C-alpha cells in the first residue's frame, strides 16, 4: 500500500500557489484492492476505453474513459464525494493521472497498482457485463446487465439477483463472477428464468454467513426449486437496505399466447430504494393494463420477444403507459429493437446486450 500526494500540489507549490497537499490517493495491490473496492461506500471505476472495458473488467465497474472530454463532469454527475472511488486502468498510468485529478477535486480515491494487468496476473475474476449506475438520493445504484432476463442490482453493498441463469447464450459463472446474493428474485418457472444450479451458486451458507440469502419467487418456481418464499401479484416485502419490493402482474393477453404466461402466475417486480429511485423489472409479459398503475418509475426493463412477450409496438405502448425516465429493453432474442429510440423520442432508451 502506498499513499501519494496530489501531483498538482507539487506544481502549484512551484508557482507559489496554495498547496493541495491534503489531496491524496492510495495505491493498492490486487489483494488489498479486492478487500477494499467492493464495499458499501466504494464505487469501482474503469477509466480505460470502451473497447478495453468490453473485453473484460472488474465486477461492478462503471466505465468512464479518462481520456475523453467530460470525464470529471460525468464523475460529478454520478458520484458524490461521500463515496470513495476505486479506480483502475490497464497498467496504472492513466488511473494514476485520474486519481490525482479526482483527489484534487475532493474525492477519496484508491488506485489499483499496475492496473488490470496486475489484477488478471493475480488470477482475480473478471467479467464482460456492462454496468449502469443511477442515483437514489445521494447513493449510487449499480445494475449489472448480465443477459436475456438476468441482471444484478447492487446497493449499499447488497446484491440483488434477478432470474439468474448459468446458460442461455453466454455462460455465466455465478460462483466466481458475483458475490453471494443477499436476495434472489425469480419472476417465473421457465428455464431461461429459473436455474437451480445458478441459485445454489449464489446462496450464502447459513453456517458461514448469518445474513443468508432471501429467495422470493412465484408458486410454481418454488415448487420446482424446493426452497424460497412465495410472493404473488399484489404482495409487498421489505428487502435489505430498506428497499420496498412490490410484485406486479406479468402475463400474456394476445389470443393464442395466454398459455405461455397465464395471468396470476408470474411476477414483475418494482423496487423502491431509500432516496426514491424506482426500478421496474417486468418479467415475461405483454403490455397489460395494470402497467398504467405504475407511477414514478425511473428505470424500466421491458421484454420484447414475440410471441412470448411483447412486439416492438407493444413495448412502445407499455413504455408510454409507464413513462419511465429510462427504458432498457431486455429479453429480446432475435427481435430487432433498433427502432425503439425513434418511437420514443422523449424517453432515454438504452439499447444494451440483453437479448
pLDDT of res. 168: 87
- Once rounded to an integer, what is the mean pLDDT over residues 315-333? 97
User: Does pLDDT of 21 surpass 60?
Assistant: no
The CATH number, out of the four listed (3.10.129.10, 3.40.250.10, 1.10.287.610, 1.10.10.10), of the domain defined by the range 2-121:
3.40.250.10
Q: Which pLDDT score is estimated for 179?
A: 94
Cell of 250: 406479468
Say what the pLDDT of residue 212 is: 84
H or E element at residue 296 = none
Computed on alpha carbons and rounded to an integer, the radius of gyration of the chain in Å comes to 21
* pLDDT score at 20: 43
Cα 194 → chain centroid:
19
CATH of domain 130-349: 3.60.15.10
| 216: nearest Cα among 181, 184, 188, 182 | 184
Higher per-residue pLDDT: 112 or 40: 112
CB 214 within 8 A of CB 184: yes
Does residue 174 carry a pLDDT above 70? yes
Domain boundaries, the chain: 2-121, 130-349
Query: 2-121 and 130-349 share one CATH topology?
Result: no
Q: What's the pLDDT tens digit per position in 332-353? A: 999 999 999 999 999 999 999 9
Share of the chain above pLDDT 70, in %: 92
Amino acid at each position: 500500500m502506498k499513499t501519494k500526494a496530489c501531483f498538482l500540489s507539487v506544481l502549484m507549490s512551484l508557482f507559489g500557489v496554495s498547496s493541495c497537499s491534503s489531496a491524496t490517493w492510495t495505491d493498492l495491490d490486487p489483494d488489498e484492492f479486492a478487500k477494499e473496492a467492493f464495499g458499501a461506500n466504494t464505487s469501482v471505476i474503469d477509466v480505460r476505453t470502451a473497447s478495453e472495458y468490453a473485453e473484460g473488467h472488474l465486477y461492478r465497474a462503471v466505465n468512464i474513459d479518462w481520456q475523453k472530454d467530460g470525464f470529471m463532469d460525468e464523475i460529478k454527475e454520478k458520484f458524490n464525494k461521500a463515496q470513495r472511488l476505486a479506480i483502475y486502468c490497464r497498467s496504472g498510468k492513466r488511473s494514476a493521472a485520474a486519481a490525482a485529478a479526482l483527489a484534487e477535486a475532493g474525492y477519496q480515491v484508491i488506485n489499483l497498482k499496475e492496473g488490470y494487468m496486475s489484477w488478471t496476473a493475480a488470477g482475480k475474476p473478471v467479467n464482460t457485463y456492462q454496468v449502469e449506475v443511477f442515483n437514489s438520493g445521494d447513493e449510487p445504484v449499480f445494475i449489472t446487465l448480465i443477459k436475456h432476463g438476468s441482471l444484478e442490482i447492487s446497493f449499499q453493498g447488497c446484491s440483488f439477483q434477478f432470474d439468474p441463469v448459468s446458460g442461455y447464450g453466454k455462460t455465466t459463472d455465478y460462483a466466481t463472477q458475483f458475490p453471494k446474493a443477499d436476495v434472489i428474485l425469480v419472476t417465473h418457472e421457465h428455464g431461461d428464468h429459473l436455474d437451480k444450479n445458478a441459485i445454489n451458486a449464489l446462496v450464502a451458507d447459513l453456517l458461514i454467513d448469518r445474513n443468508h440469502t432471501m429467495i422470493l419467487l412465484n408458486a410454481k418456481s418454488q415448487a420446482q426449486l424446493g426452497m424460497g418464499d412465495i410472493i404473488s401479484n399484489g404482495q409487498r416485502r421489505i428487502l435489505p437496505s430498506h428497499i420496498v419490493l412490490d410484485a406486479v402482474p406479468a402475463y400474456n393477453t394476445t389470443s393464442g399466447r395466454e398459455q405461455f404466461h397465464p395471468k396470476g402466475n408470474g411476477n414483475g417486480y418494482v423496487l423502491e430504494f431509500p432516496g426514491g429511485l424506482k426500478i421496474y423489472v417486468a418479467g415475461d409479459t405483454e403490455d397489460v393494463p395494470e402497467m398504467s398503475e405504475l407511477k414514478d418509475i425511473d428505470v424500466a426493463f421491458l421484454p420484447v420477444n414475440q410471441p412470448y412477450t411483447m412486439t416492438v409496438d407493444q413495448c412502445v405502448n407499455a413504455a408510454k403507459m409507464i413513462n419511465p425516465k429510462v427504458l432498457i429493453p431486455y429479453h429480446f432474442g432475435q427481435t430487432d429493437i433498433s427502432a425503439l429510440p425513434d418511437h420514443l423520442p422523449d424517453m432515454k432508451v438504452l439499447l444494451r446486450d440483453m437479448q
